[in-house]
Amino acid sequence: MAVLVVRGIHLQVFKKDYLQDKSKYVDTVSISSYRGIIEDRNGEPLAISSPAPSIIISPKELLKDDESVVVQMEKQSQKLHGGEALSASQKADVLAAYRNEKLTKFRQMEKWLNLPSGKIDAILGEKKTKSFVYLAKKVSPGVADQIKDLKIAGVDIRREFKRFYPSGEVTAHLLGFTDAEDVGQVGLEQKYESRLKGTDGKKRVIKDGLHQVIADVENISSPVPGKNLVLSIDQRIQYLAYKELQNAVKVNKAKSAALIVLDSKTGEVLAAVNQPSFNPNSKQDLKESLYRNRAITDIFEPGSTVKPFVVAAALEGGYIYRGNFFDTNGVFEVDDHTVRDVHNYGMLDVEGVLKKSSNIGVAKMALKMPVNYFWRMYSKLGFGESPATGFPGEASGHMPDAKRMRDFDRATLSFGYGVSVSAMQLARSYTALADDGILHSVSLLKRDEDIDAKRVLSQKTARTVRKMLESVITKDGTAYEARVDGYRVAGKTGTVKKAGAHGYSPDSYFAVFAGLAPASDPRLVVVVMIDEPSAGQYYGGLVSAPVFAKVMAGSLRILGVTPDQENTMPLLLARKGG
């Protein structure tokens, strides 16, 4: 008889959703808002938020529910048996049955959520007084629906969203990522947190005895989604640059690398990529060294890539003339130090100094200029100051103190030692050569014009130096590998010894190339920096220039830029046809 009584109560209490209806009440709940979408300049989504509910448990309610079950059993027994009370053993049997059923549901939840068996029991034991504990964050909507159907008192589904990055590693360094609370942690997600973050809404709802929403009552405030962010990045060029840089690091067995593509007319960043990269969709075993945006935050001595600016400064100030010659035979002694070239080039004109990348030649030019005048040229180009993209942690670089510079300091500064820049800063400086003396500010957001552009060189000087830099991309120049079929290219190599704790390393280098195209009316500036190539080659003209050529060629085709070099058009057309 006792068994039948227990069975009857079990069916009444557990099989007819009695508990769900025992105490309906009105509550106020929040409505999560969507985080703004990040898009490339053409509207391609780079970061989006998709529904990903979280599972919440209330240990306090889960444990309290056991007590309420006993009360409900008493009421149901009296209703069924004319006021007859349950014995202590009957209460224990029904409560045990209820707990066993609940434990079965716990095990099922743990299985769906990939939690170790007994995890929920452990939480209830450790946090028995808590009303809110995350059991699992950002689960699939399907799993959330399964758990909701279990109808367990004290278990709730919280509407949330999970950030997803369709481009994965390709844009990881730029975008950064959000944490479990969907708050930006690094990169542009962090920089524009207040813009991207929405405002949650509120509504009144009716909940049942299991604390689950069964009906909406009224909307108090609607959720306001975050604002979208449109970047200057062109995802097509970003992908091209990423793949070419990734391959170059692999082929050259390099430590790391960075690459920047700028629109030389607007200063917009069309691509900014780094190696190594990471997957922002998983973030497992993530280290700071992986998500650091080297193209913007890391600095290096630019080496010979700054030589065009020495020539420009000297021409602009009238300290040299285009027809001047410089004796680069042997070595050049300055302040008891020696300046050397890789080879003995003999007498070189100004263009020849750039073409052969003569340290002696540019050092002699630098020493013709007053210290402050020479220093100000580098300063006007943005060296030593932040490029002001707003990217978290962007580098300002380093400039020496002009008042403390000796002649040898000026000499080494002329071929890119003693000054440090980021790849972004170096690319920005080349816009002055590309846009006829106009230095552009740089932007990671899409814009129609650069209202902060400023003239730092005369049009005549910029065009003269740009024409000279075309000679660097010839067979007897230092960067023949930077040529692009169908287009005139101007640029400069840099092969820079790395500084260490005990001075400059004899076998560790930065291989750098900075260039622009089409040289007749430049549309793009590309800078490539590869850190410690160790597969044999380490010269900028052999390691970085080929990457420049592939990225520049592909980017010009993507943008539909008209070729400006007819004598190589057959090669370009043949490649397109093949």
Active site members: 304
Q: How far apart are CA 457 and CA 531, in angstroms?
A: 31
Pair 90, 5: CB distance under 8 Å: yes
Q: How many CB atoms lie within 10 A of CB 571?
A: 13
Helices (H), 15-58: 18-21
CA nearest neighbour of 237 among 171, 182, 302: 171
Backbone angles phi, psi at 5, to 5 degrees: -60, -50
- For the four alpha carbons of 228, 231, 234 and 236, in that order, the dihedral sign comes to negative
Peptide bond into 370 cis (omega under 30): no
- For residue 18 the two structure tokens come to 């009695």
Pair 492, 519: CB distance under 8 Å: no
- What are 38's strand-pairing partners? 47, 229
- For the four alpha carbons of 447, 448, 453 and 455, in that order, the dihedral sign comes to positive
| CB neighbour list of residue 326: distance below 8 Å, 6 or more residues apart | 347, 348, 349, 350, 353, 358, 360, 361, 364, 365
Backbone angles phi, psi at 87, to 5 degrees: -75, 165
